[in-house]
Amino acid sequence: MHESHKFKIPIGPQHPALKEPESFSVALKGEKILGVEIRLGYNHRGIEKACEERTYIQDIYLAERICGICSHSHSSCFIQCVEELAGLEVPKRGLFIRTLIGELERVHSHFLWLGVAGHEVGFDTLLMYTWRDRELVMDLLAGLTGNRVNYGMNTIGGVRRDVTKEQLRKIKETVDVLEERTMYYIKIATSEPTLINRLSGVGVLSREDTLSLDAVGPTARASGVSRDVRRDDPYAAYAELNFYVITDDHCDVYGRTIVRVKELLESFKIIREIVAKIPEGPIAVKAPRRIPAGEALSRYEAPRGEDMHYVKSNGSDKPERVKVRAPTLANVQAVKHMLKDRYLADLPIVIAAIDPCFSCTDRMVRLDRMDKGQSDVINWKQLHDYSLGWHREHGVDFSSLNERLKKAL
């Protein structure tokens, strides 16, 4: 089939396999992938810069909007930095509630991933089933926080809403139902032949490559790297909870599926433990408006892997610098490696297997041309002129209209 025929197809920035804009330019020979060029930068929102111009309280909500799925992770991670700078001791109950929301978020994120993975390999039934069950978690989160996503639960020094006994009972009931469903998905994932055929041996990332490419989260754990911030550097209430870090030795997409499904079971265990152990007391302490000068770095195990926030304070009510390293940025380099010598049909599931969140990852890229010593960055005025020039070339010219407008005024 066209042995001599090599061509490039664009997967993205707009493509049905991608939920967010990102460009994968795939060089193909027949069905075989020769190489992939990944290009970020289609969804840059300038959140880090925006954080510097807002107060810490406003920044919490901005950080929450870095990601639509792991929103609680980003706001918690940001807040941990600020609390460290301010030297705040968050009450136990507040930490437990924060952890509870974090685990519920992990559950809904992993269910979401399972559905997306099913869709990418053409197994829509899995998508329909998992997303139906995900609604149970979404309802819980809506009941606890008032929102399905972007919960607005965190505040500096604790959380904003308490949970009632009634709510805890409901969480327990729902978790029982979800655990039963998860067992069913484990059965499907380990026995359905077409699914196993599509997942195993695909997107292989060896343990050595994982370490050298610095993959994080389930992607790393599926390659046998036992790395989990919740255990290695406990934050919130994790130091008081018992759980295992799930690892797997398949090193492929199948392994990543197994890790995520088993992690769901661990999350249910953690949630049950939180419900049983949650102490009484206040949920937050009062936080100062101005944060003392200093810098802090915090880590958080988001559903997609290790999330990292860095905050530098200058003693005012606004941070001087905020830096976010979302888990996808650590994993996206591995994708190129995983796709080597695979088929085009594997591309969507391999990309999906790192559970990418491109808008979290996106950053501005500045190209410095080494040969000419010139930079490709253009300022607002240049962009404006370029746009006008482009339209003039294509026959759209408003300059005469502008002059007439000036005269009329």
Which spans of this chain sit near another protein (rule: CB under 8 A)?
1-2, 7, 9-10, 15-17, 28, 31, 118-126, 128-129, 132, 192, 194-195, 197-198, 343-348
Pick 121 or 163: Cβ nearer another protein = 121
Pick 10 or 46: Cβ nearer another protein = 10
Tokens of 149: 């996503």
Smallest distance, Å, CB 126 to another protein? 8
Which residue has 């729902």 as its token pair?
174
Pick 192 or 240: Cβ nearer another protein = 192
Cα separation, 103 vs 237, whole angstroms: 11
Smallest distance, Å, CB 85 to another protein? 44
Smallest distance, Å, CB 231 to another protein? 33
Pick 191 or 400: Cβ nearer another protein = 191
Smallest distance, Å, CB 30 to another protein? 8
Q: How far is CA 348 from CA 68, 321, 355, in A?
A: 21, 36, 11
Smallest distance, Å, CB 183 to another protein? 17
Pick 163 or 195: Cβ nearer another protein = 195
Smallest distance, Å, CB 14 to another protein? 10
Pick 153 or 349: Cβ nearer another protein = 349
Pick 190 or 226: Cβ nearer another protein = 190
Tokens of 56: 């810490």
Smallest distance, Å, CB 169 to another protein? 27
